[in-house]
């Protein structure tokens, strides 16, 4: 059974850093394309980033240069390193595999 | 960026009736393989998004056949036949061909 479990969300001050994790089971992260999608409180869904099986990564413009998506094949885990966090990065962050499987989400709150 | 416009933004349907949601893309989602990379998700209250339909008209595994997707290019429709109380939620369309991938605003389905 495919399972995705996000963790790492927290309350953090503007300008701070956070690393989100997405632990996968039931499949191999390195053979899938995986995305991060976020949802600000009361708002719609916003695609953040994607990593393909070949390791290529792409980001939405608002996070380019601040966020880095990566994976650890030995741990079968996906990461999102978030630096220079802004108030408008506040959201629930979901990881998703092939769009068909999503985690439960982890809440990132950026506030002073 | 590709703008995804969903209509209506809210819908109230009597159980047993049919609900229809439209999603229009600002540019074609048709790939050279003949598929349109349009996805439909439902987000039930307090839950993560769940994939209903991929590539415009293919139901995801386990999705009841009451849900059907259609369309090609820029115009797409999700139909929910014989609406049930458990169908309550927000329905999102997403294009997965032009980065950044983009979502519609979401359509809130309520039951009368």
CB A62 within 8 A of CB A84: no
d(CA B22, CA B6): 6
Answer whether B16's CB lies under 8 Å from B83's CB: yes
HSE, side-chain direction, 13 A CA sphere, residue A33: 11
Q: Are residues A6 and A22 in contact, defined by beta-carbon separation less than 8 angstroms?
A: yes
CB within 8 Å: A58 and B103:
no
Using CA atoms of B82, B22, B97, A93 in order, give the dihedral in degrees to the nearest 10.
Answer: -70
**Which residues from chain B sit within 8 angstroms of residue A64, using beta carbons?**
none
A89 to chain B, minimum CA–CA distance in Å?
A: 17
User: What would the pLDDT profile of B7-57 be if each residue is shown by its tens digit?
Assistant: 999 999 999 999 999 999 999 999 999 999 999 999 999 999 999 999 999
- Expressed in angstroms, the distance from the first to the final Cα of chain A is 40
Which residues in chain B have their CB less than 8 angstroms from residue A94's CB?
A: 48-49
- Residue B78 confidence class, pLDDT cut points 50, 70, 90: very high
Residue of B nearest to A92 (CA): B48
Residue A39: the pLDDT is 98
Ramachandran region of residue A87, left (φ > 0), alpha (ψ -120 to 50) or beta?
alpha
Q: Would you state the pLDDT for residue B6?
A: 98
Residue-by-residue pLDDT tens, chain A, 112 positions? 999 999 999 999 999 999 999 999 999 999 999 999 999 999 999 999 999 999 999 999 999 999 999 999 999 999 999 999 999 999 999 999 999 999 999 999 999 9
pLDDT for res A63 = 98
| pLDDT value of position A15 | 98
pLDDT at B91: 98
Smallest CA–CA distance, residue A43 to chain B, in Å, is 8
Question: Which tokens sit at A8?
Answer: 């790492």
Residue A92 Cα, gap to closest chain B Cα (Å): 10
DSSP assignment, residue A75? T
Residue A7, pLDDT score? 98
């Amino acid at each position: 059974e495919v399972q995705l479990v996000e963790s790492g969300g927290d309350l953090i001050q503007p300008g701070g850093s956070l690393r989100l994790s997405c632990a996968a089971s039931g499949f191999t992260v390195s053979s899938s394309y995986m995305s991060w999608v976020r949802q600000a409180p009361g708002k719609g869904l916003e695609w953040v980033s994607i990593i393909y099986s070949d390791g290529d990564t792409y980001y939405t413009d608002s996070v380019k240069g601040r966020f880095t998506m990566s994976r650890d094949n030995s741990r079968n885990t996906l990461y999102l390193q978030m630096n220079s966090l802004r108030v408008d990065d506040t959201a629930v962050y979901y990881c998703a595999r092939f769009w068909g499987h999503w985690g439960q989400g982890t809440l990132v709150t950026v506030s002073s | 960026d590709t703008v995804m416009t969903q209509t209506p933004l809210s819908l109230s349907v009597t159980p047993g009736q049919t609900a229809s949601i439209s999603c229009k893309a600002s540019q074609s989602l048709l790939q050279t393989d003949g598929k349109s990379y349009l996805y439909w998700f439902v987000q039930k209250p307090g839950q993560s998004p769940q994939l209903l339909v991929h590539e415009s008209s293919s139901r995801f595994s386990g999705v009841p056949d009451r849900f059907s997707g259609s369309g090609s290019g820029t115009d797409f429709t999700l139909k929910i036949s014989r609406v049930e109380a458990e169908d309550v939620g927000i329905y999102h369309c997403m294009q997965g061909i032009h980065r950044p991938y983009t979502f519609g605003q979401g359509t809130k389905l309520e039951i009368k």
